[in-house]
Amino acid sequence: MQPAIHRPTRAIIDRQAIRNNFLHERQQLTSDKYIFAVVKANAYGHGAVAVAKVLHELQVDGFCVATLDEALELRQNGLQEPILVLGITSVQDVQLAAENDISLTAASLAWLEEAVNNLQQPLKIHLAIDSGMNRLGIRDRLEVIAATEFLLQETNLVAEGIFTHFATADEPDVTYFNSQERKFRELICDVRTTFQYVHCANSATALWHQDVTSNVIRLGISLYGLNPSGTVMKELPYSLHPALSLTSEVSYIKQLPAGQKVGYGATYTTSSDEIIATIPIGYADGWLRRLSGSKIIIDDELCPIVGRICMDQLMVSVGHMVPVGTPVVLIGTQADLSISATDVANYSKTINYEITCNLSDRIPRTYIN
């Protein structure tokens, strides 16, 4: 999608916030641990290549992505650090990964057996272990052993890493978390090789479970300054600095008398004289219809979105007349008022991850600092 550069709506990404979050996590770690920055889904809406280049300057140890295409984008833009694809890649594409020095996830012995038939050179493998997430990975100890033995005997397969993923690392009840960690250790205890990377620590694990069996931190949402738990786990080992602000401007404004309908479906009726401002952002930009009724900041006031959010625009009830071009903050700070991605997520009954990931490519990303 072409960014709408001739429209005032912008996602502003603060590079210094990303640097701060990364360096704070680095300071928590011993020298024998690695940080792989998770830049999948366009770096959670922040811009994968731009974020990766910032982290390259800080000597990040590697990157995690969800798809082979995301990994290739990094390679095509000059990033040479290790890259792990966390999702399942088609066995038809394993040679392409090998040619670009991209590590792939293997979630079964069967996948390894098929993949090796398509390789003309060594491919780095991270073996996925299902310790209780039940999304992907090997669940049986004997299959873990068999898959590891297969990796050792095939010259075109390199046993680089072994990993799992926790389902509840961001929750105060650690019962299931502890059972997953125990299962992970049980499943890998009999493998006959030493993997360079043994990892299970996502952002939440890195923040609240620092003693797990892991020498790699897969630093995701906290890299962008957002709490993985939303507002559930408020105590943090260091401050997180949100990197993304979402801004726009008033594109049109009018005063309506009482009894006027606003927006599709005529769901909102003015109860008295009201000033209605139109803002050029809508659900095609990722500001979804379920955010109707939430508030944004205009001229140092919290103003409610009224009527249904449209594809490209939304309407807001403003307390007083303001000029066209008045700045608008949807995520971020203006004067003493602030709206976080977590605030937006709480209103729409979701998580902050979804809010930033939803921001479409039509919104230009502007990088500062």
Hey, which residues are catalytic here?
A: 40, 264
Residue 135 assigned ligand-binding role: yes
Region for residue 178 given its phi and psi (left: phi exceeds 0; alpha: psi -120 to 50; beta: otherwise): alpha
Q: Closest by alpha carbon to 348, among 304, 291, 284, 277? A: 291
Q: Return the H-helix or E-strand segment holding 141.
A: helix 141-153
Q: Which residues contact 232 (CB under 8 A, 6 or more apart)?
A: 170, 171, 172
- Cβ atoms of residues 307 and 346 within 8 Å: no
Q: Closest by alpha carbon to 164, among 86, 84, 66, 64? A: 86
Tokens found for residue 22: 């990364």
* C-alpha Rg value of the chain to the nearest Å: 23
Q: Which residues contact 24 (CB under 8 A, 6 or more apart)?
A: 238, 239
Residue 233 assigned ligand-binding role: no
Distance CA 207, CA 229 (A): 10
DSSP 166-224: -SSTTSS--HHHHHHHHHHHHHHTT-SS--SEEE-B-HHHHHH-TTSS-SEEEE-GGGG
Distance CA 100, CA 123 (A): 10
Q: Within 13 A of 85's CA, how many CA atoms are on the CB side?
A: 29
SS3 of 368, please?
Answer: strand
Burial of residue 354 (CB within 10 Å: 0-12, 13-18, 19+) is middle
Distance CA 87, CA 54 (A): 24
Distance CA 330, CA 247 (A): 6
Q: Closest by alpha carbon to 311, among 336, 282, 273? A: 282
Positions at the binding site: 135, 311
Annotated binding residues for substrate? 135, 311
